[in-house]
């Protein structure tokens, strides 16, 4: 199949920042074969799309996401992560998701992304109580069917809950403490067998559209041996490695209490596992020494500003990371913590929140810089920067077509700023992944969305029953978790990543 998009404005996102006011784009199979301001012969294409009045640009990349809670948007109030997770993790008796449930909820989020022009996602998928080949297949099948580009990892801890948090062992009464000391459902060998299945079955599917990644969830949630085994898997297959690091102040305290005063970044470094394959997710409560270690490793930081606000986690030190040349990509995080799954909103937030961090306005993020994080940063995090993220010959045809006859772009004053500060996804008319049109004029070309949403509503009503059981389990633990949280909030950590308040002010 060859497709020609004619007479469009083209934001190439190439290294030189080229924007064509008018150009033709030829797509041959999955690949962009030509971008020519002088025009391309129409006869060369089987499908011709008139692009006048439209913008062609690379699709957006959601570089950090967790699909298993796609059906839970809006279901929780704003809470700090450690309290939030009590309500997020389903009561085990009520938790079991069927493969069809996993398929439906994955598809729900994927369609929302495609509708607003996201062409690639990194899904750090977790499974309660544990992954199985059937549920892994269901997640990947949803991505296969809707046409999006995806990398999927299995975000599973292999240490008991009690070991992941400070203070809790001293705060909890014995019966609760014993329950939280129970090991997770699958041990390291079982989890690695699941990775074998994921990689053997799906890594490289459809010309490489679907690929595996690895995830340890967070360094304090896995044993050093399992952490090393995942790093080995990542190295052997050249896979991105997702690791949540210092998302919260309490995690900084964890290092003081449980790692001999070391930060979690230093801990990863001491294990010899800081690498350029790492996606360091959040990176908020990091200090200058941590930033130096991350810069030396070549790792990417995955920035999720809306999730960070929703959970009150703090403000990532954007400029200090960029000063060190540390690559940054953007993500929504999970739909229960950034309820909209909208990368335009994430980009806008990334373009705004850091203005509060520095009185020197020359150090605030520019719109061009935010777009570079959104697209080029995402491609790098995925380890696919030579293949996606540019409208240029030889790159995958992961493109979106935006209508410029919309309020976001009328009148057109500055394309980059209007993309970051005005557009929310409503101008996206067509989403193409690997040369295939997967979303057009507000509809999936591949999936019956009306039927899917009906099934998602049914899933939602079943979840309401499970939520009641989860809330009862959470209520039992809440007083102790609150004590832990407040004790950590009062413990000095030598930095502040909250806005306005003094360090440790929360009481």
Sites of contact with Zn ion (CB under 5 A): 333
Taking alpha carbons only, the member of 455, 436, 456 closest to residue 445 is 436
- What residues contact residue 136 under an 8 Å CB cut-off, 6+ apart? 127, 152, 154, 194, 197, 198, 201, 202
Closer residue to Zn ion in complex, CB, 60/387: 60
CA distance 100 to 103: 5
Residue 247 Cβ vs Zn ion, minimum distance, rounded to whole Å: 8
Is 64 or 252 the residue whose CB approaches Zn ion more closely? Answer: 64
Gap between the Cα atoms of 192 and 153, Å rounded? 11
Nearest residue (beta carbon) to Zn ion: 333
Q: How far is CA 305 from the centre of its chain?
A: 11
Contact 486, 507 (CB under 8 A): yes
> Which residue's CB is nearer to Zn ion, number 277 or number 303?
303
User: 167 in helix, strand or coil?
Assistant: coil
> Tokens in use for 207?
């010309």
SS3 26: strand
Complex with Zn ion: residue 242 or 481, whichever CB lies closer: 242
333 versus 369: smaller Cβ distance to Zn ion: 333
Helices (H), 187-329: 188-202, 205-208, 224-237, 249-258, 264-270, 288-297, 305-310, 318-323
* Cβ atoms < 10 Å from Cβ of 236: 9
Return left, alpha or beta for 364; rule: phi > 0 is left, psi -120 to 50 is alpha, else beta. Answer: beta
Phi-psi category of residue 491: left, alpha or beta, with phi > 0 → left and psi -120 to 50 → alpha: beta
CB of 81 to Zn ion, least distance (A): 10
Question: Between 161 and 423, whose beta carbon lies closer to Zn ion?
Answer: 161
Give the residue from 447, 448, 439, 443 showing the smallest Cα distance to 60. 439
Nearer to Zn ion, 218 or 428 (CB): 218
Beta bridge partners of 26: 4, 34
Sheet containing 214-217: give its strands across.
214-217, 241-245, 278-282, 300-303, 328-330
Smallest distance, Zn ion to C-beta of residue 155, A = 8
Q: Which is nearer to Zn ion, 221 or 266 (CB)?
A: 221
DSSP structural state of residue 184: P
CB of 492 to Zn ion, least distance (A): 27
Q: Select 97 or 125, whichever has its Cβ closest to Zn ion.
A: 125
User: Two tokens at 106?
Assistant: 């994955």
Angle 99-115/449-490 helices, nearest 10 degrees?
90
- Given the complex with Zn ion, which of 278 and 419 has the nearer CB atom? 278
Q: How far is the CB of 244 from Zn ion (least distance, A)?
A: 6
Helix (H) / strand (E) element for 355: namely none
Q: How far is the CB of 333 from Zn ion (least distance, A)?
A: 5
Closest CA to 427 of 408, 399, 449: 408
Residue 225 Cβ vs Zn ion, minimum distance, rounded to whole Å: 23
Min dist CB 23 to Zn ion, Å, is 38
Nearest distance in Å: CB 362, Zn ion: 32
Minimum gap (Å) between residue 302 Cβ and Zn ion? 8
């Amino acid at each position: 199949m060859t497709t020609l998009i004619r007479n469009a404005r083209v934001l190439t996102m190439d290294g030189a920042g080229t924007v064509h006011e008018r150009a033709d784009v030829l797509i041959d199979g999955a690949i962009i074969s030509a971008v020519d301001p002088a025009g391309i012969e129409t006869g060369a294409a089987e499908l011709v799309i008139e692009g006048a009045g439209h913008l062609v640009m690379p699709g957006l990349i959601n570089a950090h996401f967790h699909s298993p809670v796609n059906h839970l948007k809006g279901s929780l109030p704003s809470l700090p992560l450690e309290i939030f997770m009590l309500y997020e993790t389903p009561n085990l008796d009520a938790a079991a998701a069927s493969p069809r449930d996993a398929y439906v909820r994955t598809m729900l989020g994927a369609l929302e992304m495609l509708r607003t022009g996201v062409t690639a996602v990194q899904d750090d998928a977790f499974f309660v109580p544990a992954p199985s080949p059937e549920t892994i297949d269901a997640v990947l099948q949803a991505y296969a069917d809707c046409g999006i580009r995806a990398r999927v990892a299995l975000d599973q801890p292999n240490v008991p809950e009690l070991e992941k948090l400070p203070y809790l062992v001293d705060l909890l009464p014995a019966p609760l403490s014993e329950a939280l000391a129970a090991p997770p459902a699958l041990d390291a060998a079982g989890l690695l067998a699941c990775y074998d299945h994921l990689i053997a079955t799906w890594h490289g599917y459809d010309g490489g559209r679907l690929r595996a990644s690895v995830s340890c969830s967070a360094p304090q949630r896995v044993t050093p041996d399992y952490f090393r085994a995942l790093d080995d898997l990542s190295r052997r297959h050249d896979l991105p490695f997702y690791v949540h690091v210092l998302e919260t102040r309490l995690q900084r305290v964890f290092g003081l209490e449980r790692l001999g005063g070391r930060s979690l970044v230093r801990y990863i470094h001491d294990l010899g596992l800081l690498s350029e394959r790492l996606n360091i997710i959040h990176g908020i409560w990091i200090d200058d020494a941590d930033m130096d270690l991350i810069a030396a490793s070549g790792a990417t930081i995955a920035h999720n500003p809306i999730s960070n606000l929703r959970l009150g986690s703090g403000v990532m030190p954007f400029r200090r990371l960029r000063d060190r040349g540390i690559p940054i990509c953007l993500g929504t995080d999970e739909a229960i913590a950034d309820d909209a799954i909208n990368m335009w909103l994430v980009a806008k937030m990334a373009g705004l929140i850091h203005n509060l961090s520095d009185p020197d306005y020359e150090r605030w993020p520019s719109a061009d810089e935010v777009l570079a994080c959104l697209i080029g940063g995402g491609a790098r995090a995925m380890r696919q920067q030579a293949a996606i993220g540019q409208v240029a010959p030889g790159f995958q045809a992961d493109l979106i077509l935006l209508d410029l006859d919309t309020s976001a772009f009328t009148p057109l004053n500055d394309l980059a700023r209007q993309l970051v500060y005005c557009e929310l996804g409503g101008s996206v008319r067509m989403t193409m992944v690997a040369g295939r049109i997967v979303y057009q004029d507000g509809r999936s070309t591949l999936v019956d969305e009306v039927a899917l949403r009906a099934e998602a509503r049914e899933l939602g009503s079943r979840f309401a029953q499970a939520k009641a059981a989860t809330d009862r389990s959470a209520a039992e633990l809440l007083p102790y978790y609150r004590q832990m949280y407040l004790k950590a909030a009062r413990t000095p950590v030598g930095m502040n990543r909250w806005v306005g308040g003094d360090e440790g002010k929360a009481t």
